[in-house]
Amino acid sequence: MKAMSGAVASMPERSVAAAASISRVASPGAPGWTKGGRWSWSSSWFWACPGGSPTDHAAARISARMAVLRVVDFGMGVSLRGVPIRKSIHRQAGGRALQSARPSEPFRKGVEMSRLLKMLTFAVILSLAAVPARAQNPYARPSLEVLAAAAGADGILPQPFIALTGANVIDVRSGSVLGDVSIVLREGRIVSVGPEAPPAAADVIDLRGRYVTPGFFEGHYHGSSVGSAHRALVSGVTTARSASADGFSDIAQRDLVTAGYLAGPDILAASVYVTPELGTTDDVLADPRLAKYLNRPVRGEAAVREVVRINAEHGVDWIKTRTSGLSSRTSGPDALAMAFTVEELAAIMDEAERHGIPVACHAHGIEVVIAGIEAGCRSIEHASYINEEALRLMKARGTLWVPTYISVVGFELPHDDYATTIARQRAPHILENLQRMIRLGHEMGIPILTAVDTSYGPESVYRVAGEINAFIDFGMSPIDALRAATIRSAEAYGLADRTGAIEVGLEADLLVFDRNPLEQPSVLHNPLAVLSNGRVGLNRSVGSAKVLPGY
């Protein structure tokens, strides 16, 4: 009996209610009330019954040893088999006895119910208790068995023909909410958005008024594994711009997503970091021509050109280099000092331009930020100590700013990506400066884009949703902050014809939320479903069903 009581005590409330609709069973050893103490399986099965007194209905609960499991929600006035449960019912509290008058005649008749029906009730409850719990760990990639069931024989994940009805769509261009519309997805693309009835051949899924936004851009991604890609995806990232990875692993991720073996996110690869300290990393293993830098720094115009050229030959989308050292480490150049000479930096830019590849520059101090802008970097990453002079130069040159503010918040955590003493010491100043400069930069009209600066490891905490909410704190409207993570990033990275909005012809990169993110932006931390190129990357259970049933 102990095992049975534990199983029933862990059952979902709906299961008990389902069993209650089958029969009305009274305790064989009690006439409808208890004389004191806690109920146990040997003497307590009570259900609400037609015509019963308030005491009868109050007894409509199951108690397993120390825990009382309610059959119905008294506060909402629910009913069993159409019998209303009155809100005035006395409740058992803390195991105290229910005091009662004599039970009513209908309840007495329940006492006499046949043993067979009692056994049937037990069997139903046990079968319901055997249903596996709906545990949700979105960061755990599905098992190979689950993935095999979803994928085709070739291992490619499907892009189903779906009509999402009853959706409230956030139009990031106009800033409005398109209420109660249908979004039709086919072969990874959005084929219609509007009030029209869905196609007969589509799998219709009612979103029940939930809100849908475009997928997020992560502008400074360091993920180098399938696990990293999955953790980014379930947080809402459907497009990630790499800021260097282990060797050419970001290219491998990009190609797996393009082929359909990974649901997402789409990757803009940068691969091998063009840095003087290349030999201190395993990137020297990525190509035999890099082996010589295991024992010497990348110095001189010929050397930096070679590293850029190797990246280009492997097919990167961006080049990642640096004009300064790190703010979170004491190794290498100082965060305020130049990492390359002006001539080396110019050679990097020239070689990248020869191959038609834009350059992202890591920079922290004012002088090194200005050096990166003047050299022609398409984007400046971090700019922790930036000032108004550098902002004005950014504005004049049309340089993108990717501040990665939320990663600096992580400096103060003992377990996040940059858990060092020097990072914690510098964090207060960097945070305060970035707060002021992001506010000013937005007022000046500088394109400020979302990014986290993480490898999306299993212990990392901060995500793009945190950057969006920080931008709101610093003066952006909720729609402008959301635009920074969607359409503005798409435009900045040359992808506006592919993604960044919920529009016909664009990739089906969608996030589903249970509240309006323009009214409660914190909900962006809690996506219920994620689709990337029409492939389901996250599909959570809400209540008794998946948000996207059948997927």
Residues 71 and 181 in one domain: no
Query: Helices in 496-539 by DSSP H: which ranges?
Result: none
Residue 335 pLDDT class (50, 70, 90 cuts): confident
Residues 201 and 323 in one domain: no
Provide the pLDDT for residue 256.
98
What pairs with residue 353 in β-bridges? none
Residue 536 lies in a domain: no
Residues 233 and 307 in one domain: yes
The CATH number linked to 172 is: 2.30.40.10
Q: Pick from 453, 486, 519: which residue ends a domain?
A: 486
Q: How far apart are CA 407 and CA 431, in angstroms?
A: 10
**How many structural domains are present in the chain?**
3
Q: Is the pLDDT of residue 112 over 70?
A: no
Q: What are phi and psi of 511, to 5 degrees?
A: -125, 140
Residues 180 and 242 in one domain: no
What the block records as the tokens of 237 is: 């990232």
Whole-Å CA distances, 350 to 28, 321, 358, 375, 455: 89, 13, 10, 10, 29
Q: Pick from 486, 513, 546: which residue ends a domain?
A: 486
Residue 39 pLDDT class (50, 70, 90 cuts): very low
Residue 452 lies in a domain: yes
Residues 264 and 409 in one domain: yes
Kindly report the average pLDDT of the chain as a whole number: 81
**What would the pLDDT profile of 80-109 be if each residue is shown by its tens digit?**
333 333 333 333 333 333 344 455 554 444
Q: What are phi and psi of 361, to 5 degrees?
A: -115, 120
Residues 203 and 222 in one domain: no
Residues 125 and 174 in one domain: no
Pairing of strands 266-268, 237-242: parallel
Q: Is the pLDDT of residue 244 over 70?
A: yes
Q: How far apart are CA 59 and CA 68, in angstroms?
A: 11
The range of the structural domain enclosing residue 274 comes to 213-486
Instruction: Tell me the one-letter amino acid at 65.
Output: R
Residues 200 and 343 in one domain: no
Residue 507 lies in a domain: no
pTM across the whole model? 0.77
Residue 138 lies in a domain: no
The CATH number linked to 361 is: 3.20.20.140
Residues 246 and 369 in one domain: yes
Q: How far apart are CA 189 and CA 504, in angstroms?
A: 8
Q: What are phi and psi of 180, to 5 degrees?
A: 50, 55
**What would the pLDDT profile of 355-380 be if each residue is shown by its tens digit?**
999 999 999 999 999 999 999 999 99
Closest CA to 413 of 451, 457, 448: 457
Residues 66 and 201 in one domain: no
Residue 193 pLDDT class (50, 70, 90 cuts): very high
3-class secondary structure, 269: coil
Residue 198 lies in a domain: yes
Q: How far apart are CA 528 and CA 488, in angstroms?
A: 24
Residues 21 and 85 in one domain: yes
Closest CA to 271 of 305, 239, 245, 309: 245
Instruction: Tell me the one-letter amino acid at 327.
Output: S
Sign of the C-alpha dihedral computed for residues 65, 70, 75 and 79 taken in this order: negative
Provide the pLDDT for residue 105.
53
- Print the SS3 string covering 326-381: CCCCCCCCCCCCECCCHHHHHHHHHHHHHCCCCEEEEECCHHHHHHHHHHCCCEEE
